[in-house]
Amino acid sequence: MSKRTIIPFGPQHPVLPEPIHLDLVLEDEKVVQAIPRIGYVHRGLEKLVEKQEYANMVYVAERICGICSFIHAQTCSQAIEDLLPIEVPERALYLRTIWAEMSRTHSHLLWLGLMADAFGFEALFMHCWRLREKILDMVEDTAGGRVIFGSCKVGGVRVDIEDAKLKDIVIQYNDLEKEIKEITDVFVEDYSVKHRLVDVGVMSKEDAHVLGAVGPTMRGSGVAKDMRTLGYAAYKYLKFEPVVETAGDCYARTKVRIREVFQSIDLIRQAVAQIPGGPIAVKVTGNPTGSSFQCVEQARGDVAYYLKANGTKNLERFRVRTPTFANIPPLLKMLGGCELADVPVIVLSIDPCISCTER
Amino acid sequence: MTTTAITAIIVILYLIGAPILGGILAGLDRIITARMQGRYGPPVWQPFYDVLKLMSKEKAAVNKTQNFYVFCFLLFMIFTGAVFFAGGDLLLVLFALTLASIFLVLGAFSSNSPYSFIGAERELIQTMAYEPMVLITAAGMYLATKSFFVADIAAFSTPLIYYLPGIFIGFVYILTIKFRKSPFDLSTSHHAHQELVKGLTTEFSGPTLAMIEIAHWYENIFLLGIVYLFFAFNPLLGVIVALLTYFLEILIDNSNARVTWQLTMKSAWIVAATLGMANLIIVFFKLSV
Amino acid sequence: MSYLAKSPWLIHYDGSSCNGCDIEVLACLTPMYDVERFGIINTGNPKHADILAITGSVNEQNIPIIKNIYDQMLEPKVVIAIGICATSGGIFRECYNVQGGVDQVIPVDVYIPGCAARPESIIDGVVKGLGVLEEKYKKYGKKR
Amino acid sequence: MAFLKLAGTVTKRMGMKSACYMYPVVAREFTKTTRGHVELDSADCIYCGLCQRKCPTKAIEVNRQEKNWTIQPLRCIVCSGCVDVCPKKCLRMENTYSSSVTSKF
């Protein structure tokens, strides 16, 4: 038996900026076992409900993760609206959808960049982030923040997007679509990229079910499950199909996300074409009671919120199950027996968001 | 002036000029890379700033031998280039080159860090990958010119590229490994964005790292010197081709992902076996008939 | 005059941050902001770095990590706390597992406010940090 | 199989101007909606303290007796919640961010 080396991966590591620690037990360059250790980002924000009023919890939820920020805020608002209960104006629902899809495009481009970085393709990383920056500029122009949108609140949205600006967003996305196509084609077709992605970290359809994968990780293994089909926000008025690839390797997961970028752009177009006029928020009065469970599709998979209220200003229970949390068991399965060089690629292929996971 | 004096002047010019040229090349490399990535890029003198900064940092070595190994790496790298530009024996040059890289590997092995350990292992694999092609290059040059002396090869009237096109392509291929450019930046990478952090150079810091940087400048100039040899019949053309080769390497660097060590090994040997050996055999029969 | 201010290499550690500031730090490296103009490289290696950029607050788990990274960095070095979580704990200040700002563990030289800190303010803060680095070098040079 | 798929893009970028905003050299224009920092028009302020109560990070301190309103920029998460609740609409969200400091106090 050959000598075993233990390589520490994280919590400070250039490939994955987020603090997760993996002890990789190596035989030569083959990973025999990956032992995770988490808890570096745990803040305990679910306990904050005792100190923050329920309306302020939207700010807290938004800061669970800086990449999925808007969708967290959206889900939290949805849950509280469900508790109160209040009816959100149509226009607000559409605006939420538009922002959520903008957030998805920026998150996927960010992920594509990080993935490129993981397999050592610096130029591709830079180009992905260059395109992402244009989306962030649009976000700043409409919502006011860059990564923390801050435009969602209980009862609707805080800022309106004028119709002229909405049209402008579509025009900008049309231009961007071509550029994104140029860059994503590299992921799909380039030989050296395929060499690093195809047949790496394979997860079968059965495993995806058994281990409870969610989001693109699951859709890459051939399971057509997309929480947006539940029809929350304005998705019930929009036409789309869940993106599915069947191979179950890193390449399939990459392709799912690439196709989702274009799907999101299409959804934004549809939403802008259909958006009705009217108010953007309703007045929120009273305190919530009862409990609510919300499931929303984030860029990384479905996030589940469980909120329980007791009629006071503060909620009683605030529980978040984030997509990365569900994706960690599949990740550990994929890591066993892989090459050391493939570790960053596989880790990133689930699009880990550790601060979501540990909250 | 005697030939010895001229040789001495060339060697001194090399000793002083190579780090300056190498540094400027590295600076241009970073600017071109930045432009290719849509960035603005650092000033051209950035590599010099980096090295001067590293010199002024605190000295901290993991152990005493480490610094000795790195010093030997620098020394033998300079020696390699000096023999080469003095027109010495090509075989001696190549052996000194290998020795230099072995010292670097030893330096990396001397620390206990797993990153630098695996980095060193990968460096050895890389050495194994490129060494056959380097030897074939020397053999090819010998077959064409009937001499191992760089001075004779450079003075050879017929363009070497005419005899050795396959070997030239093969050499450019392994040059990517030697320059530590993507797709073959396995053991250490420029920006430390890989699973091994900085791999081979993880445990070197401050002035020691500065020495490694300078050694790389010497190495790059020497390697471009070999590219020049293929076009030595026309000095201007030789320099242009050497610079074009460097540009090509930057382009390859920016349009490739890092591949695994298996593919590095396989592809480098396949290139050496097909292009290199075929070229060698053809030259052998052409010249002996 | 030293060359520290012309070639500051940066190491980034994500404390218990929400990723917002992290991706803004990364965004600083990318084409639109490109801090390599100032010679800044994001090294992942504490031994090569001059500037430690920390995003996010500290908790029991990551205190030893931060101390470890800080100790591994060679003199002279500068610590920059990016975002309000790293300066004061931010919105998570009252959470049970948050100890507060980075300054509770290691000395911080520059505080960058914002949630999430904008790339522009990060660049401003790093430039401010370069001045501190130069001063520290003078002091360090005397010691040597 | 396609080799050097990105080569076209990168060579094209070489001839183009860099995408960089050149931030410190060229000042950045922020959009109107950008949330930068909170500003108070103290003339209209009635020091009701609503902003202090609504602030999720307790960055704002209002003293009704001394007619004093202070904000700690190192605590503010620029959520603009205070601007929304202000009954006199005397709080403003400026689009420039607060600057970095070398000491906390």
Q: Do you find a cis peptide bond into C76, omega within 30 degrees of 0?
A: yes
- Answer yes or no: are the C-beta atoms of B183 and B257 closer than 8 Å: yes
Query: What residues have CB less than 8 Å from C96, skipping those under 6 apart?
Result: A44, A47
d(CA B209, CA B198): 11
B30–C36: do the CB atoms touch at under 8 Å?
yes
Task: Give the domain range for residue A174.
Answer: 41-324
pLDDT at C26: 86
In B41-164, alpha helices (H): 46-56, 64-85, 90-109, 114-145, 150-155, 160-163
Cβ of C42 under 8 Å from any chain B Cβ?
A: yes
Provide the number of structural domains found in chain A.
1
Reported as a pLDDT band with limits 50, 70 and 90, residue B235 is confident
- CA A331: distance to chain centroid? 16
Under an 8 A CB cutoff, do B50 and C7 touch?
yes
Q: What is the pLDDT of residue D1?
A: 57
B-side interface with C, Cβ within 8 Å?
30, 34, 37-43, 46, 49-50, 52-53, 56-58, 60, 191-193, 197-198, 202-206, 209
| Mean per-residue pLDDT over chain A, rounded | 85
Using DSSP, state whether C40 is helix, strand or coil: coil
Please give the single-letter amino acid code of residue D53: R
Give the model's pLDDT for residue B20: 92
Nearest-Cα distance to chain B for A6, in Å, is: 7
Average pLDDT on B126-134 reads 89
How many Å lie between the alpha carbon of D32 and the closest alpha carbon of chain A?
Answer: 7
In a domain, A8, yes or no: no
pLDDT value, residue A285: 82
Find the CB nearest A40 among C16, C25, C45. Answer: C16
Q: Where are the domains of chain D?
A: 36-105
Tens digit of each residue's pLDDT (9 = 90 or more) over A163-185: 888 898 899 899 998 889 888 88
Q: Is A202 within the bounds of a domain?
A: yes
Quote helix, strand, coil % in chain D, to nearest 5: 20, 15, 65
* Residue B28 forms contact with D (CB below 8 Å): no
Nearest-angstrom CA–CA distance, A281 and A261: 28
Tokens of C122: 């990060």
User: Does C43 contact chain B (CB < 8 Å)?
Assistant: yes
Interface check for D105 against chain A (CB to CB < 8 A): the answer is no
Q: Which chain B residues are closer than 8 Å to D13 by Cβ? A: 35-38
Name the one residue in this structure whose structure tokens are 């803004």: C24
Are D100 and C125 inside 8 Å of each other by CB?
Answer: yes
| Residue B191 confidence (pLDDT) | 63
Give the CA distances from residue A351 to residues A254, A290, B14, D41, in Å, rounded to whole numbers and listed in that order. Answer: 10, 34, 50, 45
**pLDDT of res. B193:** 65
pLDDT at A1 over 50: no
Question: What pairs with residue A22 in β-bridges?
Answer: A9, A36
Contact B255 D6 (CB under 8 A): yes
Interval A231-244 mean pLDDT: 86
Residue A219: CATH number of its domain = 1.10.645.10
Domain count, chain C: 1
Work out the percent of chain A whose per-residue pLDDT is above 90. Answer: 4
Q: What is the CATH number of the domain that holds C66?
A: 3.40.50.12280
Q: Which residue among D10, D16, D18 places its CB closest to the CB of B254?
A: D10
Average pLDDT over residues A86-95: 88
Report the share of chain C in percent with pLDDT over 90: 1
Contact B210, C7 (CB under 8 A): no
Which of C17, C32, C85 best tests the D interface by mutation, with the highest count of D CBs <10 A?
C32
ipTM: 0.88
Is pLDDT above 80 for D104? no
Q: Please, what is the average pLDDT of chain B?
A: 85
Residue A9 Cα, gap to closest chain B Cα (Å): 8
Per-residue model confidence as pLDDT tens digits over C46-74? 888 888 988 888 888 888 888 888 988 88
Instruction: Convert the pLDDT of each residue in B45-102 to its tens digit.
Output: 888 988 888 888 888 777 888 888 888 999 999 999 888 888 888 899 989 999 998 8
Closest to D35 measured CA to CA, from D101, D99, D92: D92
Please judge whether A6 and B261 are an interchain contact, meaning their C-beta atoms are less than 8 angstroms apart. Answer: no
**Hey, which chains touch D, using 3+ CB pairs under 8 Å?**
A, B, C
Tell me if B276 sits within 8 A of B170, measured CB to CB: yes
The rounded distance, in Å, linking the Cα atoms of D64 and D84 is 20
Query: Of the candidates C2, C37, C42, which has its C-beta nearest B56's C-beta?
Result: C2
- Nearest residue to B14 via CA among B233, B217, B237: B217
Interface test mutation site (partner A, options C12, C16, C17, C18, max chain A beta carbons within 10 A): C18
Q: Do D28 and C115 touch (CB under 8 A)?
A: no
Top CATH class of D36-105 equals alpha beta
β-pairing, A21-27 vs A4-9, is: antiparallel
Residue from the list D19, D34, D56 with its beta carbon closest to the beta carbon of A144? D34
The predicted pLDDT at position A2 comes to: 56
Kindly indicate the confidence band of residue A197, based on its pLDDT and cuts at 50, 70 and 90: confident
For residue D99, the chain C residues in CB contact (below 8 A) are 113, 121, 124
Domain boundaries, given as residue ranges, for chain B: 3-288
Angle at D79 between CA D77 and CA D85, to 5 degrees: 130
Interface contact flag, C3 B209, Cβ < 8 Å: no
Residue A56 tokens read as 């302020």
Q: What is the model's pLDDT at position B289? A: 64
In which band, very low, low, confident or very high, does the pLDDT at C143 lie, cut at 50, 70 and 90?
A: low
* pLDDT for residue B31 is more than 50: yes
